[in-house]
Amino acid sequence: MKPRLILILGDQLSADIAALRHADKARDIVVMAEVADEASYVRHHPKKIALVLTAMRKFAARLEQAGWHVAYTRLDDDGNTGSIPGELIRHASQHGAEEVVATLPGEWRLINALNDLPLPVRQLADDRFLISPADFADWARGRKELRMEWFYREMRRKTGLLMDGDAPAGRAWNYDHQNRKAPPKHDHGPKRMVFEPDTVVSEVLDLVEARFAENFGTLRPFGFATDRDQALAVLDHFIAHGLPRFGDYQDAMIAGAPWLWHAVISPYLNLGLLDPMEVCRRAEEAWKAGAAPLNAVEGFIRQIIGWREFVRGVYFLEGPDYTSRNVLGHDRGLPALYWGARTDMRCLQDVVRQVRDHAYAHHIQRLMITGNFALLAGVDPHEVHEWYLAVFADAFEWVEAPNTIGMSQFADGGLVASKPYVSSGNYISKMSNYCRDCAYDVKAKTGEKACPFNLLYWQFVDRHRDRFESNPRMAVMYRNWDARDPDERGRILQEAEALLRGLEEGDSI
């Protein structure tokens, strides 16, 4: 009987992944490949590339120790074809294989590439997730709007997490009203757990440094977990030290303090080093033991079984053209400040530097700083999508695209978000300390010192009036805008247009 090729991708590093469960150690060959196509379809952050390659190498070694025959291609190997399809064809020829078994990839481009192979490919459902694309489509059928809150409640019932019979624990489905505290002045959260590079990590860092030196982002120091044992240690650290206060400050932002009380486990979940239910059970156990409050545990679990599962469902429901959506018709190029060019806006400066150094920003920094500015400035959502996909260590298209195209940029017309997530500088001032030493005055509405978020916010409201005026969640914005003196409205719009022209001409702001 001829061997089959068992494809394991860089974000499928789970010992019980479907393709391995359907494989035969005595017969089949596991194919793992570091290829140029995957490393360069966007200009990935060097830390992201290093994380994926190192985790792949360590996972392959574990498979070999467990008795699997692994055909592993390194990025710098002679004969590397540079693509997943190319490597499958090459190994099929070498080993006489006539069939490929794969777990469904998390990106349409790879699904389509496997479908186009001149070999039979069996793509199995990725059952590491709690709901299949087909079951999500059944849930979505007939709904005028897809709202995460209603989906989340179904997932709570399905999993039994934080449930008291048929009712939610504490008699409330979420505790968002308790989770919006401003940042504390003198406490920036527990110290992040980091790992000194071992031999495998060091070898990969040298490779990435040589190959991707021009990519945006700082490679060293590198402290990510790169195998399951280390990822579990990060989870343990968070449960003990971060989770108890995670809820209170999950939306807070502090300059120079990237981690706060966040878990920073999304890279490990998305690579497959951690399982979503094991993570949620650990958090639930902490609540039951009295080690973490319900508002923190519920908010954390909602991000995993609610939002994470929801956006994956949206991605597969909407199909390959989702990333090209642009319902607002935005076409401005991504400002150079997103790649580290000078800006006097302290919030953007701090977040972009943080992304450069750590390939990380938490959800409010992504949504209400970088995403908010891009949306207000009318940046082409596909450019925003490619930036997010490139610069964050946890970014794979199934999770990144709905967060960017839908939640952040409203480019899907409201499929994911009931209103555009835009704000003036007031929200940023309330939830951060960014405004304290900024060159701009967050209270100024016009003039040289006016916060650009203030100017662009009202210009956005004005230019999209036809679309959003009837939205109940935006009615107050339009009443406030209309109540302003006409001369003041004119000054705001004039100064906002001047700011946008300057962005197009490459001026710093």
Question: In Å, what is the CA distance from 174 to each residue of 156, 170, 195, 392, 417?
Answer: 11, 9, 34, 28, 18
With CA atoms as reference, report the closest residue to 24 among 2, 57, 53, 50.
Answer: 2
Q: Is the peptide bond before 190 cis (omega within 30 degrees of 0)?
A: no
User: What is the radius of gyration, based on Cα positions, of the chain?
Assistant: 24
pTM: 0.97
Give residue 456's pLDDT.
98
Contacts of 288 (CB under 8 A, 6+ apart): none
Cα atoms found within 13 Å of the Cα of residue 482, Cβ hemisphere only: 8
Residue by residue, pLDDT tens for the chain (509 residues) are 899 999 999 999 999 999 999 999 999 999 999 999 999 999 999 999 999 999 999 999 999 999 999 999 999 999 999 999 999 999 999 999 999 999 999 999 999 999 999 999 999 999 999 999 999 999 999 988 889 999 999 999 999 999 999 999 999 999 988 878 877 888 999 999 999 999 999 999 999 999 999 999 999 999 999 999 999 999 999 999 999 999 999 999 999 999 999 999 999 999 999 999 999 999 999 999 999 999 999 999 999 999 999 999 999 999 999 999 999 999 999 999 999 999 999 999 999 999 999 999 999 999 999 999 999 999 999 999 999 999 999 999 999 999 999 999 999 999 999 999 999 999 999 999 999 999 999 999 999 999 999 999 999 999 999 999 999 999 999 999 999 999 999 999 999 999 999 999 988 99
Contacts of 486 (CB under 8 A, 6+ apart): none
Q: How many CB atoms lie within 10 A of CB 509?
A: 19
Give residue 255's pLDDT.
95
**Structure-token pair, residue 91:** 């190994």
DSSP assignment letter at 26? T
The backbone torsions φ and ψ at residue 73, rounded to the nearest 5 degrees and listed phi first, read -105, 125
Gap between the Cα atoms of 215 and 237, Å rounded? 31
State the alpha helices, DSSP H only, in 262-359. 266-271, 276-288, 294-301, 309-318, 346-358
Give residue 271's pLDDT.
98
**Structure-token pair, residue 444:** 């100024």
CB 243 within 8 A of CB 296: yes
Give residue 80's pLDDT.
97
Gap between the Cα atoms of 86 and 79, Å rounded? 10
With CA atoms as reference, report the closest residue to 101 among 186, 176, 24.
Answer: 24
**Terminal CA-CA length for the chain:** 66
Domains and CATH numbers, the chain: 5-124 (3.40.50.620), 133-318 (1.25.40.80), 336-504 (1.10.579.10)
